[in-house]
Amino acid sequence: MSNDLVIEAKGLTRLYGDGKAARPAIDDVSLEVKEGEFVAVLGPSGCGKSTLLGILGCLDRAFEGSLALFGRDTTTMSDREQAKLRGTKIGFVFQAFHLLGHLSARDNVLSPTLFVDHPPDGDLGARAEELLAAVGLAGRGDDMPATMSGGERQRLAIARALLMKPPLLLCDEPTGNLDLETGRNVTDIFQRLHGEGLTIVAVTHEEMLAGAAERTVRLRGGRVVDEAEGEG
């Protein structure tokens, strides 16, 4: 395994259904992502994007093929080891935001500390404020998610995903619930984070987001059809 590969996936296949009814949601997908790359996986609804992202994020281990993250084979890890890897090395951003509605914006940003054994050192309160400012939500820490617009909620979700300083950000249709301008705004944030060295993989059906990435992998019917360099 090469050291600068953050993701090294080979021959990923994921079947849903049993016996004769089994169908591959993704079929023999291989993907390499280098440190610092911004890769978009582009394809229409149902082509297997969420399935692929779930496997890459160690949210689903019922697949065939091999997956190494940060040079480590994930298939031989225990569930606990995978959870630790997820909690410390991967930030997730989802289409539906998945914010905690009973917590303020600030406490949503801080919420990843609830799921790890050893929260990172340093002043997390100050880091939360920095992250809120970085996504254009300075001074909004006391706001509740229900009072925020879709774009604001997604920017809050991005701030939360970055709290633990993960080297990898995995995004599932992050602009899917946003109008064009708001989606562009969120895309700009990804480009800035990419410029700062973060490795980003975003699955999307939106050409605009894919156009911002450095590289696009096209998925159709669960298979990679071609790859193209983007403009980002």
Q: Least distance (Å) from ligand ADP to the CB of residue 14?
A: 8
Residues 29 and 224: beta-carbon distance below 8 Å: yes
Residue located via tokens 């894919």: 210
> Contacts with ligand ADP in 47-106 (CB under 6 A)?
47-51
41 binds ligand ADP (CB under 6 A): no
List, in order, residues 6 or more apart from 178 with CB less than 8 Å away: 150, 151, 154, 186
d(C-alpha 28, C-alpha 72), whole Å: 20
Residues 58 and 86: beta-carbon distance below 8 Å: yes
> Contacts with ligand ADP in 106-145 (CB under 6 A)?
none
Which residue of 16, 81, 192, 195 would you call a contact of ligand ADP, by CB under 6 A? 16
Task: Tell me the residue length of the chain.
Answer: 232
* Residue with smaller CB distance to ligand ADP, 59 or 103: 59
d(C-alpha 82, C-alpha 214), whole Å: 28
Which residue of 9, 25, 69, 99 would you call a contact of ligand ADP, by CB under 6 A? 25
* Residue with smaller CB distance to ligand ADP, 109 or 200: 200
Q: Least distance (Å) from ligand ADP to the CB of residue 54?
A: 8
Binding site for ligand ADP (CB under 6 A): 16, 25, 43, 45-51
